[in-house]
Amino acid sequence: MTASRSDSVRGGGRATGGLANVLVANRGEIARRVFATCRRMGIATTAVYSDADAHSPHVAEADSAVRLPGNTPAETYLRGELIIEAALAAGADAIHPGYGFLSENAGFARAVQEAGLTWIGPPVAAIEQMGSKVESKKMMDAAGVPVLKQLDPAEVTPDLLPVLIKASAGGGGRGMRVVREVADLAPQLEAARREAESAFGDPTVFCERYLETGRHIEVQVMADTHGTVWAVGERECSIQRRHQKVVEEAPSPLVEKMDGMRERLFTAARLASEAIGYEGAGTVEFLADERGDFFFLEMNTRLQVEHPVTEQVTGLDLVRLQLQVAAGRPLPARQPGLRGHSIEVRLYAEDPAQDWQPQSGPVHKLDIPGTTGEFTVLTEPGVRLDTGVVDGSVVGVHYDPMLSKVISYAETRDEAAHLLASALQRAKIHGLVTNRDLLVRVLRHPAFLAGDTDTAFFATHDIEKLSAPLVSESDEKLSIVAAALSDAAANRAKVRIGAGLPSGWRNLPSQPQSKSYESRITGKHEIRYRLTRTGLAVDGFEGLELIEATPDSVTLSVPGERGRVRRRFDIARYDDLVAIDSALGPVAVKRLPRFEDPADHVAEGSLLAPMPGAVIRLGAQAGDRVEKGQPILWLEAMKMEHTIAAPAAGVLAELNVVAGQQVEVGAVLAVVRSADATPSEGVAE
């Protein structure tokens, strides 16, 4: 029987019986994840959504949904009072915060309880104590947990560099900056404060010594209201970009090889939890060195993004345990042990080769082959998919660009890595540039397979090589040939020509047919081919044989040093975008028109908006001399600041925007004319 709202308030926001209807104060993947467990437990679900998320899968899957007017987090998912009103309007009796947004906001948790709703999270006091990373470290030090000394930004001297600026109120890399020069400290502090305010509504930041290399190890804890505290298992999350995790795994390769380290970690995590009277799911994060020594970083008083790897190696449904603890039930008498190995990668809509530039736009297709479960614990080796998008979803500019979490589970670490890399390479991901190729290369990298995964992984190993396309240039060209032949087949399907002869077939010798495409990586390709009585002839290729060509697929026989090999290419079209998938690797090209429009060209030196966003400040004015790499302006998109810098030294000939202006992707923001250019070279005085 569900507790009344008055009972929930008297009980500190805990239900005394089962939960009937849970509202998730979040969006995307984590909302779908919580809903999946609720459905398995027979609990009704309520979604909230911004205008930008009106067609999001999490909205369609909920039993009821309530609109939060607006698009940005500040207008919607950070408006606690609107979320509570939504819960009451929909008849929900509990709120699950997910991760990010208000998940670690003590004021919101208190307001939820005061409204008579069950808070599916830790006690308000625990959130408050861990909510300030400054105060939490003092408390952990007093409890006997090893900590790194915090620094007053005003007292940072050259001998203390480098330092790390961190947001006191949040995580996920928001508000983090590494500072290596004293002169950079003040501007980086201001940038970190702005980012923290935008992401968490709190601009407070602090500094600590930055360790160039280390291992990010965290312990999952679960505590009930009856005094039981579990240290469920550790995860290693050392491979990061912009201080955000990219690859996570359980158990940790470092901990596995260090005698006694797991026990010491678990003891420290329990001390941290008991010191604040913790209840529910939480994570105690540490920075460790290769000797097995570790220091407290922070405690996340919520469910972590990477919780699936712990679920896989324990067999637990952590969301189910959260709901049961919130309903006042005790944890099971025996804590489960560990089994096998699990690795999770975060599939982002971003371009690692372009400084991790986030992408926006439609996801035409997302198909991970071999997926054996979604939002559920696998009992056999396989691949699990936790995703916030489906075919046709649109990635906007207001939120984090993570598309999916792809998780493998196997008996050994090597098997889990190979299984995950194979699934990602064969995945069909159409519409946006992603970090898929980088993820595959990381999973197959000798250093990763050896367990050498410190926080400097991307700095140590050439990021240019790691982010290179999986397909070689020659194989890309072959894939584009297949696209041209498939396009010809598609044209034949639209307009049937005499006697069923293939388009391009001629009884007499003729000029080849030509189709042009543009690759984001290798530029323009002109495919010239002929289909004759003797077969297929393609300029630049010898001995290709066409086995079959349809609008959706092409099969070629390709000559090689040791004989011929059949290659099948799957083709998909979305307006001018052509996606080609094969065992050689994924390829995406833009179909070019036969005749180019001169209006499509932009002046040399033009700085184009890489994504829709808001210009938050300017670094130079028209007419200024600028150096290569000098910031011209800053864009805010997807809760992060992005620097638009001069591509070369010269003069800022045009500045087409002002602070506060919204811009669309591809807009010409500014034009930098090289120092030795003249007006006749395409830039007006």
* pLDDT, tens digit (0-9, with 9 covering 90-100), for 629-669: 999 999 887 767 888 999 889 999 999 999 989 888 788 99
* pLDDT, tens digit (0-9, with 9 covering 90-100), for 10-33: 234 555 468 999 999 999 999 999
Average pLDDT, integer, range 519-528? 94
Q: Where in the chain is the domain with CATH 2.40.50.100?
A: 602-681
* pLDDT, tens digit (0-9, with 9 covering 90-100), for 647-656: 889 999 999 9
Q: Where in the chain is the domain with CATH 2.40.128?
A: 473-591
Q: What is the DSSP string of 546-609?
A: EEEE-SSEEEEEE--TTS-EEEEEEEEEETTEEEEE-TT--EEEEEPPSS--GGG---TTEEE-
Query: Backbone dihedral region of 276: left (phi > 0), alpha (psi from -120 to 50 degrees) or beta?
Result: alpha
Alpha-carbon gap, residue 336 to 313, rounded angstroms: 9
* pLDDT, tens digit (0-9, with 9 covering 90-100), for 455-476: 999 999 999 999 999 999 999 9
Helix axes 80-90 and 106-114, enclosed angle (nearest 10): 30
Q: Are 431 and 361 in contact (CB under 8 A)?
A: yes
CATH topology of domain 473-591: Lipocalin (2.40.128)
- E-assigned strand segments in 272-340: 280-288, 294-300
Query: Which comes out higher in pLDDT, residue 249 or 165?
Result: 249
Helix residue spans in 444-520 (DSSP H): 446-449, 457-460, 463-466, 473-494
At which residue do the structure tokens 């054996």 appear? Answer: 372
Q: How many CA atoms lie within 13 A of 292 on its CB side?
A: 12
- Phi and psi at residue 100, in whole multiples of 5°? 75, -170
Q: What is the pLDDT of residue 642?
A: 84
Q: Is the pLDDT of residue 503 over 80?
A: no
Q: What is the pLDDT of residue 4?
A: 31
Q: Is the pLDDT of residue 117 over 80?
A: yes
* pLDDT, tens digit (0-9, with 9 covering 90-100), for 75-115: 999 999 999 999 999 999 999 999 999 999 999 999 999 99
- The structure tokens listed for 587 are 């390829």
Cβ-proximal residues to 659 (8 Å cutoff; 6+ apart), any chain: 615, 616, 617, 618
Cβ-proximal residues to 421 (8 Å cutoff; 6+ apart), any chain: 439, 440, 443, 444
Alpha-carbon gap, residue 297 to 316, rounded angstroms: 26
- What confidence category does residue 605 fall into, taking pLDDT thresholds of 50, 70 and 90? confident
* pLDDT, tens digit (0-9, with 9 covering 90-100), for 162-190: 898 988 776 666 778 889 998 899 999 99
Which CATH code of 3.30.70.1400, 3.30.470.20, 3.60.20.10, 3.40.50.360 fits the domain covering 340-468? Answer: 3.30.470.20
What is the b/e burial string over 110-124, where b = at least 16 CB atoms within 10 angstroms of the residue's CB? bbbbebbbbbbbbbb
Q: Is the pLDDT of residue 3 over 50?
A: no
Average pLDDT, integer, range 278-295? 95
Q: Where in the chain is the domain with CATH 3.40.50.20?
A: 5-120
Q: What is the pLDDT of residue 679?
A: 47
Q: What is the pLDDT of residue 247?
A: 98
- What confidence category does residue 604 fall into, taking pLDDT thresholds of 50, 70 and 90? confident
- What confidence category does residue 556 fall into, taking pLDDT thresholds of 50, 70 and 90? very high
Q: Are 18 and 90 in contact (CB under 8 A)?
A: no
Q: Are strands 294-300 and 341-348 parallel, antiparallel or unpaired?
A: unpaired
Q: Where in the chain is the domain with CATH 3.30.470.20?
A: 340-468
Q: What is the pLDDT of residue 499?
A: 44
Q: What is the pLDDT of residue 685?
A: 35
- Of 600, 595, 592, 597, the residue nearest 515 (C-alpha): 592
- What's the whole-number average pLDDT of the chain? 90
User: CA–CA distance from 590 to each of 361, 483, 520, 573 (Å)?
Assistant: 15, 11, 8, 10
Angle at 406 between CA 402 and CA 252, to 5 degrees: 105
Alpha-carbon gap, residue 539 to 613, rounded angstroms: 43
Q: Where in the chain is the domain with CATH 3.30.1490.20?
A: 140-209
Tell which CATH architecture fits domain 602-681.
Beta Barrel (2.40)
Domain 140-209 = CATH 3.40.50.10150: no
Cβ-proximal residues to 392 (8 Å cutoff; 6+ apart), any chain: 362, 363, 364
Q: Are 607 and 644 in contact (CB under 8 A)?
A: yes
- What confidence category does residue 502 fall into, taking pLDDT thresholds of 50, 70 and 90? low
Average pLDDT, integer, range 149-166? 85
Tell which CATH architecture fits domain 5-120.
3-Layer(aba) Sandwich (3.40)
- Of 139, 130, 135, 137, the residue nearest 109 (C-alpha): 130
At which residue do the structure tokens 């189709």 appear? Answer: 515
Q: What is the pLDDT of residue 339?
A: 97
- Phi and psi at residue 39, in whole multiples of 5°? -60, -40
Alpha-carbon gap, residue 107 to 264, rounded angstroms: 33
Q: Is the pLDDT of residue 243 over 90?
A: no
| H or E stretch covering 405 | strand 402-410
Query: Which comes out higher in pLDDT, residue 478 or 148?
Result: 478
At which residue do the structure tokens 């190995």 appear? Answer: 341
Q: Is the pLDDT of residue 432 over 90?
A: yes
Alpha-carbon gap, residue 51 to 40, rounded angstroms: 29
- What confidence category does residue 600 fall into, taking pLDDT thresholds of 50, 70 and 90? low
- Of 553, 588, 364, 362, the residue nearest 469 (C-alpha): 588
Q: Are 256 and 354 in contact (CB under 8 A)?
A: no
Average pLDDT, integer, range 217-225? 98
* pLDDT, tens digit (0-9, with 9 covering 90-100), for 336-392: 999 999 999 999 999 999 889 899 999 999 999 999 999 999 999 999 999 999 999
- E-assigned strand segments in 55-204: 64-67, 94-96, 118-119, 150-151, 163-167, 177-179
Average pLDDT, integer, range 40-45? 98
Query: Backbone dihedral region of 50: left (phi > 0), alpha (psi from -120 to 50 degrees) or beta?
Result: beta
At which residue do the structure tokens 């990763």 appear? Answer: 448
- Of 194, 257, 261, 270, the residue nearest 229 (C-alpha): 270
Q: Is the pLDDT of residue 6 over 60?
A: no
DSSP 117: P
Q: Is the pLDDT of residue 141 over 60?
A: yes
